[in-house]
Amino acid sequence: MDQWRAEEVNMNSPKDTQEIQLALHDKTGALLMIDKRERRLVKELLAITLKSKSSREWIVKKLGSEYIEIAEKLLKTMGGSL
């Protein structure tokens, strides 16, 4: 998952918007759709991870400092906060 970015997807059916509200795109244009439960899990994991100093340090060491910004932007796009 190299540099995924989140984007809201507008669907015509209200049921569809509850099930799929987020599309994740990478630099190549590949698309990953996640459902409501998966989105909830990712949002909670990101929130917990970004609140932890040691988790942030691990991300920077393993992936680079730009991934902290990517994670923060993804969390914000998903409706979460730090």
Residues in the chain: 82
Provide mean pLDDT across the span 70-75: 92
For the chain, give the percent of residues with pLDDT over 90. Answer: 40
pTM of the model: 0.61
Domain coordinates in residue numbering, the chain: 5-77
Provide mean pLDDT across the span 12-18: 47
What's residue 81's pLDDT?
84
Using CA atoms, how far apart are residues 70 and 82, in angstroms rounded to an integer? 13
